[in-house]
Amino acid sequence: MGNPLNDTMAGTSSVIAVGTEPIIRAERIEKYYAQPSQNRIQVISATDLLIVPGEILALLGPSGSGKSTMLRMLSGLSKPSAGQVYWHGRPIAESAINVSIVFQSFALFPWLTVLENVEAPLKARGMAADERRERSLRMLDTVGLDGFEAAYPKELSGGMRQRVGFARALVVEPEVLFMDEPFSALDVLTAENLRSELLELWSKKTMPTKAVFLVTHNIEEAVLLADRIIVLGRNPGHIRTDFRVQLSHPRDRKSEPFTQLVDYIYKVLTRPEVAPLAAPDQTTGRTPRDQRQMHYQMLPHARPGGVAGLLELLIDKGGKDDIYRLADDLAFEIDDLLPIVDAAQLLGFLTVYEGDVAITATGTEFANSEILRQKELFRQAALKNILLLRQIRRALETKNDHTVPEEFFLDMLDEQFSSDESLRQVETAVSWGRYAELFDFDAARRRFILPEETEIVAPVEGAE
Ligand code: ADP
Ligand code: MG
């Protein structure tokens, strides 16, 4: 990634080392289906999504929410009705892509033997007979099908058939492996075995695959396997939440962090009317700092003044209220209130639980303080909780001239958001940073600046 500060910011590699280039980047993709009689129906609303190397990404969602539709667009099988999918930065339709897909229904050729089924994609790619035979045999061995080369699919159990499905997908050494509910048609034990075997292949790097995209409606399966989980809501399909799973492997289904995460996702899935809640803390199994992907929170587009107003109102109501009643009392549309609630939650000033918002101790102190103290509390909360603000502040402190171009942060944000959204993110960061007196922004030069007189604020080492 080209950034203008490499030379001047040596020694701040944790700020600069952003996640690697995405393999697949979807920008504002949508899908409509034409209806024979009436209007088209929208199945996916404008969605941004990244598939990055080193990650198992699970896409969860209720049936009909558009998971398979997303998979088809991301894997190049179907074209979005609007927006664009990029493969290593180029439109996917114009790229030579290297992906495979494992389907729930196995989708084997019944008239071909196990070996011939696995060889089929290599044959399609024009590989010489000897080489493809050798590679296929090796792959069959890897997935535990040694000795079944000459069998036909109908002679195999479901679990064995799906092993063939995996072998056929992996034999081409795909850069991204897509799977659409690959374990759903199997009995519980077989599914569990195959999951652990897949995880073993992945973690031992037996397969050269760089990223896995798993569609599932099974919450535990997602928490068991994924490094990152995206939950889709329906009508039309949209991302409700997107978070990292930081539990170390092997994951214990009975452990507290595991069950908490399952509960959380269950709530997100079953209470579509409630704002996405923050994922619970997963204290165990953190990856070392330099291996962690930077992952920006999406800053809600709310003003600090709005956050202050909401907290003061909550204090009047005894510190807790139902989010809908609150919107009603304020004569706010719920959609207008949610960004403010999200912002306050992100800053640690309130918590949201099953539709109730409750003010925290810091939130209470904030609401009861005069303006200067409020700014100080906001500043501390922002540095502790918000990666982008922490990065801007730290970059400004590190640079000799205490200024950094906006473009530098846009570059990093663009890795994760659409370019419009990146601009909005910077805009919000500017409004929050100014309020907290963390930095200023020179709109004419498009540069962040550290006002001369500001003292260095202490708590920069915050939680991620
Ligand atoms: P999921 O995989 O999450 O169950 P799908 O992506 O299969 O969901 O489908 C999402 C929605 O799109 C469903 O309501 C489905 O009926 C609709 N849909 C899928 N394919 C088509 C199609 N070819 N024509 C019309 N509607 C479709
Ligand atoms: Mg599906």
Which phi and psi angles does 167 have, rounded to 5°? Answer: -60, -40
Tell me how far apart the alpha carbons of residues 462 and 394 are, in angstroms, rounded to a whole number.
Answer: 12
Tell me how far apart the alpha carbons of residues 222 and 117 are, in angstroms, rounded to a whole number.
Answer: 28
pLDDT at 283: 59
Model confidence at 156: pLDDT above 90:
yes
CA angle 408, 290, 199 (to 5 degrees): 120
Give the burial class of 452: count Cβ atoms within 10 A of its Cβ; 0-12 exposed, 13-18 middle, 19 or more buried.
exposed
Tell me how far apart the alpha carbons of residues 222 and 232 are, in angstroms, rounded to a whole number.
Answer: 13
pLDDT at 208: 87
Nearest to 431 by CA among 276, 307, 295: 307
Centre of ligand 2 to C-alpha 20, Å, is 29
CB 31 near ligand 1, within 6 Å = no
CB 63 near ligand 1, within 6 Å = yes
Tell me how far apart the alpha carbons of residues 264 and 256 are, in angstroms, rounded to a whole number.
Answer: 12
Residue 275: strand, helix, or coil: coil
Residue 128: strand, helix, or coil: coil
Centre of ligand 2 to C-alpha 178, Å, is 13
Among 161-170, 270-279, 378-387, where is mean pLDDT lowest? 270-279
Give the burial class of 120: count Cβ atoms within 10 A of its Cβ; 0-12 exposed, 13-18 middle, 19 or more buried.
middle
Q: Which atom of ligand 1 is nearest to the CA of 61?
A: 3
pTM of structure: 0.61
Tell me the per-residue pLDDT of 321-337, one tens digit each, with 9 for 90 and over: 888 788 887 777 767 78
Residue with CA closest to ligand 1 atom 21: 33
Nearest to 26 by CA among 82, 67, 106, 68: 82
Q: Which atom of ligand 1 is nearest to the CA of 63?
A: 4
Tell me how far apart the alpha carbons of residues 296 and 415 are, in angstroms, rounded to a whole number.
Answer: 10
- 355 φ/ψ sector (left φ>0, alpha ψ -120 to 50, else beta): left
CB 43 near ligand 1, within 6 Å = yes
- Name the pLDDT band for 443 (thresholds 50, 70, 90): very high
Model confidence at 456: pLDDT above 70:
no
Q: Which atom of ligand 1 is nearest to the CA of 180?
A: 2
Give the burial class of 326: count Cβ atoms within 10 A of its Cβ; 0-12 exposed, 13-18 middle, 19 or more buried.
buried
Nearest-ligand number for the alpha carbon of 32: 1
pLDDT at 368: 94
Nearest-ligand number for the alpha carbon of 180: 2
pLDDT at 285: 36
Q: Count CB neighbours of 152 within 10 A.
A: 16
CB 40 near ligand 1, within 6 Å = no
Centre of ligand 2 to C-alpha 68, Å, is 4
pLDDT at 15: 31
